[in-house]
Structure 1
Amino acid sequence: MLEVNAWRRRRGDVPLVGYQELCRELAVSGPGTFAELDTTGARSVLRRFSDAWFAAVKRRNNGDGSAGFPRRRRGLVPVRWYHG
């Protein structure tokens, strides 16, 4: 689902970066979008993606030109989230 932003960038659209926008896209995408993760786990991943995006924006606005945006997928990364 995070690859949607790459497609949007190629079309010239604004990427989805806010947590609510990403959760709406998750709901539209349907089951199986995040492989074995349930909705709670997927939302946890989206929260961290959104936080990383806005942290990079803040660092860039403070003059850190080396701050990079989270653009690529990472395979087999441990994920933590609340259950219930």
Structure 2
Amino acid sequence: NAAWNAGASHPWLEEIMPKISAAVDPNDLVRLESELGQWLFDNALTYIGLYSVGAVWPVGPKIEEWKADVKFTDLRNINGYEYIKPR
């Protein structure tokens, strides 16, 4: 039901997306989007790239190597960014 699909689908998503698209009342829209957001978090389908968490980490070019502490398996994890140290 979307203009673009990463190759992933789920029956629950196919059910809720038309409801979200048709929601007119702002309270209904917030409720449905919140339900969708919670479902995406609880059912993190990270292996198919269905969603990602938009997080901005204010780091600059003058940092030590930090990739060893980053977890790539589950986008819900707090990653190793807190271990970044300046050079």
> Do they fold alike, i.e. is TM over 0.5?
no
Structure possessing the higher radius of gyration over alpha carbons: 2
Select the structure that is richer in helix. 1
- Which TM-score applies when normalising by structure 2? 0.31
- Which TM-score applies when normalising by structure 1? 0.32
